[in-house]
Amino acid sequence: MAKKKTITESDILSYYMDYVLEHNEKPKSVYVFAKNNNFEESLFYNHFASFEAIEKEIFKAFFNNTIKVLDASEDYQSFDARNKLLSFYFTFFENLTANRSYVVYALKSHNKDLTALMSLSELKKSFAKYIANLDIETLDIKNDKIEKIQVKSLQESAWVQLLITIKFWLDDTSASFEKTDIFIEKSVNTSFDILNIAPLKSVIDFGKFLFKEKMHMN
With the C-alpha atoms ordered 82, 83, 86, 88, is the resulting torsion angle positive or negative? negative
* CA dihedral over 68, 69, 70, 74, signed as positive or negative: positive
User: Would you place residue 40 in the very low, low, confident or very high pLDDT band (cuts 50, 70, 90)?
Assistant: very high
168-to-51, 62, 85, 130, 182 alpha-carbon distances in Å: 27, 18, 18, 22, 11
Reported confidence tier of residue 2, pLDDT bands at 50, 70, 90: confident
* Model pLDDT for residues 100-112, shown as the tens digit of each residue: 999 999 998 776 6
The sign one gets for the Cα dihedral 107, 112, 115, 118 is negative
Q: Over the stretch 185-212, which tens digit does the pLDDT of each residue have?
A: 998 888 887 665 444 444 445 455 445 5
Assign 197 to helix, strand or coil.
coil
Cα(125)–Cα(1) distance, integer angstroms: 41
pLDDT band, residue 144 (cuts 50/70/90): low
HSE-CB at 108 with a 13 A cutoff on CA atoms is 10
Q: What is the pLDDT of residue 79?
A: 95
The mean per-residue pLDDT over the stretch 61-69 comes to: 98
Determine which of 19-33, 55-69, 109-123 has the lowest per-residue pLDDT on average. Answer: 109-123
Distance in angstroms (rounded) separating the CA atoms of residues 68 and 79 = 16
| Residue-wise DSSP of 112-151 | T--TT-GGGHHHHHHHHHHHHHTT------S-HHHHHHHH
**Can you give the pLDDT at residue 162?**
94
- pTM value is 0.85
pLDDT digit string (tens) for 70-89?
A: 999 999 999 999 999 999 99
List 39's β-bridge partners, or say none: 4
Percentage of the chain with pLDDT > 70? Answer: 81
